[in-house]
Structure 1
Amino acid sequence: MAEAHQAVAFQFTITPEGIDLQLSYQALNQIYLSGVRSWKKRVSRMRNSVIKGVYPASPSSWLFVVIAILATMSDKVYVLSHAESDIQGSVTQCVIYLAQGQTMVSALVFSTLLWLSLILTLRFCLKLLLSYHRWMFEQHGRVSTTTKVWVTLLRLLSGRKPLLYSYQTSLPHLPVPAIKDTLTRYLESVRPLLTGPEFERMSELANQFESTLGNRLQRYLKLKALWATNYVSDWWEEYIYLRSRSPIMVNSNYYGMDFLYVTPTAVQAARAGNTITALLLYRRKVNREELKPVRNILSVVLSCERMFNTTRTPGDETDVLQHWQDSEFVAVYHRGRFFRLWVYRAGRLLCPREIEFQIQRILDDPSPPQPGEDKLGALTAGDRIPWSQMRKQYFSSGVNKRSLDAIERAAFFVTLDDEEQGMKGDDPAGNLDRYAKSLLHGKCYDRWFDKSFSIVIYKNGKNGLNAEHSWADAPTVAHLWEYTLATDAFQLGYTEDGHCKGEVDRSLPHPQRLLWDIPTEVQTQVTSSLAVATALADNVDCHVFPFREFGKGRIKKLRISPDAFIQISLQLAYYRDRGGFCLTYEASMTRLFREGRTETVRSCSNESCPTGVNNDECSEQCRRLFRLAAEKHQNLYRLAMTGAGIDRHLFCLYVVSKYLGVDSPFLKEVLSEPWRLSTSQTPIQQMELFDLKNHPDFISLGGGFGPVADDGYGVSYIIVGEDMINFHVSSKYSCSDTDSHRFGVQISQALQDILALLTPETKTASSNSKGPAQTQSKKLL
């Protein structure tokens, strides 16, 4: 227990001669340095609060205004000073000095009020500028004069370098769409999926809802929009995520993967050392607000506040997100044991080599798990109510509470997995599938699914993460993971023998084993929760495959949005796989608004699934229809991003109806419709971090999620560089109509068939009279 002795700052004993006081100057110095770090962080937060509080002005502009006002009053001050020299009475001099002081105070007060008024005016102007979204609907290469003026004014107001949250107060609130517009767009979205009588019935339900209950619910929703910063986000977080009582593993949590072809080191402890360091460097940037909130001319604010030091705690009716201001340690799991690993010492972040040294100590620790400890994490993988009851009854005091606090208050959770994962081996395709399943659910007890995110470091040096969904959406975590992978590989680096760089202070205290007292009742519930989680995990069919035939480079040459191209290809793949079209979910972001999260793009439209084209019609007609479908998809995406989506509005109307205790057959039916094809694109947001020209093998695999519907598919994709698209497909084995591998083949074929259709015939094309493009047009149908 050497670490315990080092933690003691002083000791004293009482003897007949008096008190014998012994001070540990090393420990006192560490306490002092730790306190200095804490105060530096407080001062930095206060400084950032002032800077972002006056944005788009600067604190120094106050001094400029004061000097300008005092300069205009210099004549009056001169007259008072000249009068003082002509008057001899001391009382009169005091009166003059008092008058001068009052003048100075008045000038300061007036200058400050004027400065604050200017800030409010600038902020109001910035908010008006950020409320302009028509630029999104203009054709590529055809920028209107209004948009050009808007860009100029926005750059003038945003000229000063902003902090991460500088734009928060200037972002517009998410508008509440007109109920008539939402219902019209909804009916348009379901038209290709319903028969004539079904559509007439749904139209009647919508009209009845609009004329009766709809307007009443809309008034309450508008009242909330006036009061709240975002009328959707709090309800979305609570009712979609936190109130769910089913397991969050697979159903809610998602995963992110390592590089496809490269593993920077095969040393597990070294990869953990660099990964943990990179994550903590990112946290430092978040705390200092050094991340850029602006991407091109978009105000893109990341939801970083709850990224670290955050956990989801279970409840009987609803879970709660708990966030702590700071944490100087991470929680580590290895072979059934939990550890607390301090990553700061005396206010200094340990270097990667020191963290590797500490991780290796954990790997070399031969101590066995305590009774009931090894599979304790299964409580976070099963149903929420049993976990809530166990937590309140057995983890609210004593040693269990202290150990649970160490996990929940940790910056993040780390699993040192004893398996090897990755693409390489005799079965590359199968290995990728197993890699995805491992990150999605693992063994169901070797992850802590409640943490904001958990890092997994495999035995062969591969890594990945599993993220809890309620606190933020995938693009926020993807931004973190991009930075982590790039910093690990290109900035921190490794020595020739695969170890982290830096020197080691071997006097570091050992990582602390967390102690538990797990009674039989908890062990019984662990077994039950593990059975639920294992059944859920075993039912997930994951398939990950890189599509290498072409990428966004060839698609953009056709003057088509790559996302629209992929989404329509997914529609074709699903039609071939299941013999029809389905309600399709595509996630889009509403970051143009304050506290914006996601909106649904209903990708399946009348244009994307035409039924009136015959096999004998020419390929030119098919190309024209495809371009119409692509333009329609882009317009739907723009509407969703600019606050004119369908599903979040209908969801909030449903919540209001529940609060009022009234039922709506229309809303009930809409919200019960299954999303049999749920899709999401993982965007690469920091291309500057990856030099694919000089390092072409450092390609991101992206990440994925579990299926949303029992009889549907979950599809995630990431467009990498110019020539590759990585797909993640999931479904459930229990449904005989779905097969992730079969659907992956359909996706690949659909992409190639549509490209063949859209690619004009060249001189090297076949001399067939119909031509390959026309042949493909028949295949599509």
Structure 2
Amino acid sequence: MVLVMLSGAVCARSDRIGVSMALSGFPDLLCLVWLPSQLSAHFQRPSKMAEAHQAVAFQFTVTPEGVDFRLSREALKQIYLSGISSWKKRFIRLKNSILTGVYPGTPSGWLAVFIATLGSLYLRKDVSLGLIFCIRERLPTGGCWSLRNRTLLSTILFSSGVWISGVLLCRKTLKLLLSYHGWMFEPHGRTSSTTKIWAATVKVLSGRQPMLYSLQASLPKLPVPKVEDTIQRYLESVHHLLDAERYSQMETLARDFQKQEAPRLQKYLILKSWWASNYVSDWWEEYIYLRGRGPIMVNSNYYVMDFLYATPTPLQAARAGNAVHSLLLYRRKLDREELAPVMALGVVPMCSYQMERIFNTTRIPGKEADSLLHLLDSRHLAVYHKGRFYKVWLYQAGKLLGPRDLELQFQRILDDPSLPQPGEKELAALTAGDRPPWAEARAKYFGQGKNRVALDCIERAAFFLTLDEEACGYDPEEEEQSLDSFAKSLLHGRCYDRWFDKSFTLVVYRNGKLGANAEHSWADAPIIGHLWEFMLATDQFQLGYCGSGHCQGEPNTALPPPQRLQWDIPVECRLVIDASYSVAKALADDVDFHCFRFVDFGKGRIKKCRTSPDAFIQIALQLAHFRDKACFCLTYEASMTRMFREGRTETVRSCTRESTAFVRSMADPYTSPSECLQLFREAAKKHQLLYRLAMTGAGIDRHLFCLYVVSRYLGVDSPFLAQVLSEPWRLSTSQTPQQQIKMFDLETNPDHVSSGGGFGPVANDGYGVSYIIAGEHLITFHVSSKRSSPETDSKRFGRNICQAMLDIAALFDTPSRKMAN
């Protein structure tokens, strides 16, 4: 007889006997099985990481006398506690769905209506105007249906009807109020009486403490703009970018489209807007993201950075422990809907639907289109270190592991001396290359056996964690190089040490710095920004570290160690991995990234100029681009439409006629500073108008995009739409939101400003620029381009941005002085 230890999944095969056990749901459990010695050759010896299990699930002994079967009390306890935790989550979800479903109504509100109605009957005052008695007459009689019981039931039914009617009326009223956007177009600091009354009414109807999804049903739908308005705004946005002949051709195409194809396409779009929650978002997700067949690394995924200056601990495992625990606390608040919805000006709720897929979400490759796999829950984490993949369980006895326990698990991974299996080290390069080869390889090589089990572990994980071997972060002695390397590492790493298909990959570096790489299809950057702010603040200001740099508390050394994932990757699959890696490596090497701090001034000084900080920076980017390339280009600035249900983004075409006039004036030595300043104010005013129009559903590009999708469905050929959608965005910009959750004060903690995040260039000969206005005295820019383009240079463009910012600020300081070229 031989003793065999089973952990996870065990299979033994012989000519006549087969045994298969899967205990992936209970990682803590150890199976002890007595089997005849001739079967022992069919089992492989488990890895060292899987041998140290403590708890025994069950054991049985096969002897000539029979089978001796024993259950472990500890195993039964684990099963019981896990079940209790699962049912508790279900109950909380059910309760929250009920409370959200009746919001702004409450159970106590229903009880108050019932008591008031019942009390009026006892006082012989029928507030129902006879409805209660009409209901009572239609109820059955006899048996337990006495007059008193029938009166009570009819009172309950009437009270419920009144209460539900009140809830629906409040929702409808709130939806109508939230459709009003006049407040956005009022001058800063000059709030009208109408807006004050509107804001007070919205606050009252929104309730005192709405849960995360309480106000979703009250959000208005994204309106479909009129075709003539969209065409007119489009022509205005390109007039100054085209010469007279090209503009005349474009205007002819636009007017022909407006008269011929547009009316029919618009009718279908309006029909969809009546039926769907949002007429843009599902098509945007599918056609812009999921149907893309090129690499998502660099081209689609984006990144976020750690604190700029502060490093809470230099210990990699400790920082990972606190960060992971903080993220899981956020997930728990998300599941329980304990997070308050984001409010504009503290009054207008933003749509929260994108937050549903932050965790437990993976992009699954397909031959023609990818899909998103989202699970309601996931109890483990997938971890990568030195070419090896691990499964780390996040719960013990139904409770979330504490930071110190997580630190222990991650330290065990860091201390593991084992080597990667053949093909394992660069496996994640499949997620970094083109999508079709990955889809084919996944179907062919990962559909069964241990590869299927291991891949499921990654794709069904809460998120992905990389324990990086490098040290990254801001270094004052090598400021430029350190931030550039940090940005490139988070954007693409080594092309095989991030799982680019996961909703996000948390990256923790050897020196304790961290960051994340996020997949774009499931949500936009403000959603990750919200999560990131919570994580950083919780890590530093709530969890903290002990004097030695470790997480607080004592570790449970009896925890089963992380499970090493097992792969069987054939040579043919390794060739596909190598090909994907080559594609990804070439793409990554071509990225020219420059991340820098602008410390001459920040939001404080810009506000003294009585202009929008975003408008200030966008106009500075136009001036920098003109100095960089001696031309203007179509410019993309991301704006959100989350004031509408399931809203995502809209484009602000920030290269306007007014901004180009200002830029040209700055290049003209004969234009006085006062004239330049006046042109700047006009450009800033126009930019703010465009931004507000985009936020209120009156943008250009999403409407044209949807018209194009409808035309393709109907087989309508539109030269105008084809031309519009083929125009390159040679300058793509975005502002990283700051302080969405005010968990700490930046003024009193200036070392804890965030570095923001960035993305890759959109056009091969263009720039991608992200910026974060971090407090009153700092703006951090992230500039990307491609080395292969002779027209771009990220560092050169960064210098032009700095100079443009200083030159515009100088207009306000010395309006009488001539500006140099």
**SS of equivalent to 1:608:** helix
8 Å contact 1:571–1:581 — kept in the other structure? Answer: yes
CA distance in 2, matches of 1:741, 1:420: 23
Which residue of structure 1 aligns with residue 737 of structure 2? Answer: 683
Counterpart of 1:322, as a letter, is L
From 623, 638, 660, the equivalent of 1:587 is 638
1:236-635 aligned at under 5 Å gives the runs: 236-295=284-343, 296-302=346-352, 303-424=354-475, 426-610=477-661, 613=665, 614-635=668-689
Residue by residue over 1:444-486, the C-alpha shift from the partner in whole angstroms, topping out at 9 and shown as x without a partner, is 0011000000011111111100000000000000111111111
Which residue of structure 2 aligns with residue 766 of structure 1? Answer: none
**How far apart are residue 76 of structure 1 and its match?**
6.3
**How far apart are residue 63 of structure 1 and its match?**
1.1
CA distance in 2, matches of 1:220, 1:301: 25
User: Comparing 529-538 with 101-110, which one deviates more in the overlay?
Assistant: 101-110
1:44-63 aligned at under 5 Å gives the runs: 44-63=92-111
From 207, 214, 226, the equivalent of 2:262 is 214
Which residue of structure 1 aligns with residue 42 of structure 2? Answer: none
Residue by residue over 1:43-67, the C-alpha shift from the partner in whole angstroms, topping out at 9 and shown as x without a partner, is 1101111111111111221111111
8 Å contact 1:77–1:100 — kept in the other structure? Answer: no
CA distance in 2, matches of 1:413, 1:96: 60
Does 1:196 pair with 2:244? yes
Which residue of structure 2 aligns with residue 704 of structure 1? Answer: 758
Which residue of structure 1 aligns with residue 806 of structure 2? Answer: 752
Counterpart of 1:202, as a letter, is M
CA distance in 2, matches of 1:77, 1:731: 76
CA gap 1:251/1:96 in 2 versus in 1, 3 angstroms:
closer
User: Comparing 9-18 with 107-116, which one deviates more in the overlay?
Assistant: 9-18
CA distance in 2, matches of 1:695, 1:425: 19
Which residue of structure 1 aligns with residue 782 of structure 2? Answer: 728
CA distance in 1, matches of 2:340, 2:85: 24
8 Å contact 2:59–2:69 — kept in the other structure? Answer: yes
Counterpart of 2:577, as a letter, is V
CA distance in 2, matches of 1:8, 1:521: 40
8 Å contact 2:56–2:74 — kept in the other structure? Answer: no
CA distance in 2, matches of 1:695, 1:207: 56
User: Comparing 257-266 with 223-232, which one deviates more in the overlay?
Assistant: 257-266
8 Å contact 2:323–2:535 — kept in the other structure? Answer: yes
8 Å contact 2:85–2:398 — kept in the other structure? Answer: yes
Which residue of structure 2 aligns with residue 765 of structure 1? Answer: none
Residue by residue over 1:479-507, the C-alpha shift from the partner in whole angstroms, topping out at 9 and shown as x without a partner, is 11111111111111111111111111111
CA distance in 2, matches of 1:294, 1:374: 41
**How far apart are residue 424 of structure 1 and its match?**
1.6
Does 1:110 pair with 2:158? yes
**How far apart are residue 225 of structure 1 and its match?**
0.6
Counterpart of 1:217, as a letter, is L
Segments of structure 1 that go 5 or more residues without pairing to the other structure are: 79-92, 762-770
8 Å contact 1:599–1:647 — kept in the other structure? Answer: yes
Residue by residue over 1:152-190, the C-alpha shift from the partner in whole angstroms, topping out at 9 and shown as x without a partner, is 111111232100011111100000000000000000000
**How far apart are residue 293 of structure 1 and its match?**
0.5
8 Å contact 2:754–2:774 — kept in the other structure? Answer: yes
CA distance in 2, matches of 1:719, 1:411: 31
**How far apart are residue 139 of structure 1 and its match?**
0.5
Residue by residue over 1:644-676, the C-alpha shift from the partner in whole angstroms, topping out at 9 and shown as x without a partner, is 000000000000010011111000000000000
Does 1:643 pair with 2:686? no
- Counting aligned pairs with the same residue, the percent is 61
**How far apart are residue 686 of structure 1 and its match?**
3.2
CA distance in 1, matches of 2:724, 2:276: 25
Counterpart of 1:717, as a letter, is Y
Counterpart of 2:682, as a letter, is L
**How far apart are residue 14 of structure 1 and its match?**
5.8
CA distance in 2, matches of 1:71, 1:390: 71
Segments of structure 2 that go 5 or more residues without pairing to the other structure are: 8-27, 31-53, 127-140
Counterpart of 1:244, as a letter, is G
**How far apart are residue 146 of structure 1 and its match?**
1.4
Counterpart of 1:650, as a letter, is L
**SS of equivalent to 2:659:** coil
Which residue of structure 2 aligns with residue 129 of structure 1? Answer: 177
8 Å contact 2:360–2:378 — kept in the other structure? Answer: yes
**SS of equivalent to 2:742:** helix
8 Å contact 1:50–1:59 — kept in the other structure? Answer: no
**SS of equivalent to 1:688:** coil
8 Å contact 2:55–2:74 — kept in the other structure? Answer: no
CA distance in 2, matches of 1:748, 1:75: 77
Does 1:775 pair with 2:818? yes
8 Å contact 2:672–2:818 — kept in the other structure? Answer: no
8 Å contact 2:222–2:647 — kept in the other structure? Answer: yes
**How far apart are residue 691 of structure 1 and its match?**
2.5
CA distance in 2, matches of 1:4, 1:644: 58
Counterpart of 1:671, as a letter, is L
CA distance in 1, matches of 2:248, 2:341: 47
CA gap 1:509/1:192 in 2 versus in 1, 3 angstroms:
same
**How far apart are residue 27 of structure 1 and its match?**
1.5
User: Comparing 277-286 with 15-24, which one deviates more in the overlay?
Assistant: 15-24
CA distance in 2, matches of 1:375, 1:339: 15
**How far apart are residue 690 of structure 1 and its match?**
3.0
Residue by residue over 1:297-350, the C-alpha shift from the partner in whole angstroms, topping out at 9 and shown as x without a partner, is 121233210000000000000000000110111000001100000011111111
**How far apart are residue 23 of structure 1 and its match?**
2.1
CA distance in 1, matches of 2:63, 2:74: 25
Residue by residue over 1:554-585, the C-alpha shift from the partner in whole angstroms, topping out at 9 and shown as x without a partner, is 11011100000000000000000000111000
**How far apart are residue 148 of structure 1 and its match?**
1.1
Moved over 4 A (4+): 1-4, 14-19, 75-78, 93-97, 611-614
User: How many positions carry a matched residue from both structures?
Assistant: 753
Counterpart of 2:235, as a letter, is L
**SS of equivalent to 1:508:** coil
Residue by residue over 1:387-417, the C-alpha shift from the partner in whole angstroms, topping out at 9 and shown as x without a partner, is 0001011111111110000000000000011
CA distance in 1, matches of 2:123, 2:611: 67
User: Comparing 616-625 with 208-217, which one deviates more in the overlay?
Assistant: 616-625
**How far apart are residue 235 of structure 1 and its match?**
0.1
- TM-score by length of structure 2 reads 0.90
CA distance in 1, matches of 2:632, 2:365: 38
Residue by residue over 1:60-90, the C-alpha shift from the partner in whole angstroms, topping out at 9 and shown as x without a partner, is 2111111122122225699xxxxxxxxxxxx
Which residue of structure 2 aligns with residue 715 of structure 1? Answer: 769
8 Å contact 2:293–2:434 — kept in the other structure? Answer: yes
Residue by residue over 1:363-389, the C-alpha shift from the partner in whole angstroms, topping out at 9 and shown as x without a partner, is 000111111111000000000000000
Residue by residue over 1:519-574, the C-alpha shift from the partner in whole angstroms, topping out at 9 and shown as x without a partner, is 11110000000000000000000000000000010110111000000000000000
CA distance in 1, matches of 2:145, 2:518: 66
CA distance in 1, matches of 2:760, 2:408: 36
8 Å contact 2:351–2:644 — kept in the other structure? Answer: no
CA distance in 2, matches of 1:95, 1:37: 43
8 Å contact 1:353–1:501 — kept in the other structure? Answer: yes
User: Comparing 501-510 with 426-435, which one deviates more in the overlay?
Assistant: 426-435
